[in-house]
Amino acid sequence: ILGMFSELKFPVPWGHMAAKAWGPLEGHPVLCLHGWLDNANTFDKLIPLLPKDCYYVAMDFSGHGLSSHRPAGSAYHLLDYVSDVCRVAAALQWRRFTLMGHSMGGAVAGMFCFLYPEMVDKLILLESLGFLLAPEDTEAWLKSKRVVIDRLLSLEAKQQAPKARSPEAALQRLLEANRHLTAEGGAILLQRGATETPAGLVYNRDMRVHTQNRESLTVEQCVKLLQKIQDRVLIIVAQDGLLIPHKLDSRNHFVKALRKAFESTLKEHIQIAEVPGSHFVHLNEPKAVSGIISNFLMVQNARARL
């Protein structure tokens, strides 16, 4: 029964990586990657609706959910999250598997795919185009790198203890920070994203994840890389999410450029599905995406067996 899951824990040099798993161990392996500041519970509503013959593992990135925080003095780089995927895949002894990523998890999945193409049979991107684009302006690029360092040093100087909140306040804070989350979805994320203390709930996430350093690519690089894995990519975009070009402000010109490039250059080779819903459509309204994902998994798996 896919509603039932088991908890997994994998040792790493600075502690452990945590994950949860659904389905039969011998099933087709699917690794699920959550978004920035979220955790593995983001897939709780979706996975029970997907094909029963797959083995789904949803991991917590380092500094998120139940996974250990990275060592003192470290920032969080996108490639660190890619190495998290490498470590979990190695612990599971998976040589080839499907990757499904939401938001930042999609960017991690995309980068993993291009660094280790032989290990990925299919790529499913939820509210993600699989990339983080480089600012066209050199000064903006330099500023973004400086901000990462300054934020890290500022956090180290403050050494603030995590703030405790009542369950109601912790949920309210989460919902205020993300208008795409429903109260139910926020509560699901909090179950894994906070720890109960005598003073109240404390968020599990490492404050340093706010210092995330991105690995950026140009539109041309993105298109070229995606061409390498054509026919094996499903991109799901929500109509009220973060990737609809006509609803984006001018700062998100790169998303417009990327979608335009995908649809003109890769339209025949990559499946892009637009569904009703918000950035967290997979958690808020999982039935809006479960059929599309299930068909993609089943068709591709059948083709792989031929």
Q: Sign of dihedral through CA atoms 172, 176, 177, 178? A: positive
**Crossing angle, helix 167-177 and helix 183-193, to 10 degrees?**
110
Helix (H) or strand (E) holding 255: helix 253-265
Query: Could you give phi then psi for residue 220, rounded to 5 degrees?
Result: -60, -40
For 212, what's the count of Cα atoms within 13 Å in the CB-facing half-sphere? 22
Instruction: Please pick, among 62, 67, 68, 103, the residue that the annotation labels catalytic.
Output: 103
- Of residues 115, 112, 138, the one with CA closest to residue 125: 112
d(CA 63, CA 104): 14
DSSP character string of 46-79: TGGGS-TTEEEEEEPPTTSTTSPPPPTT---BHH
Is residue 103 part of the annotated active site? The answer reads yes
Active site members: 103
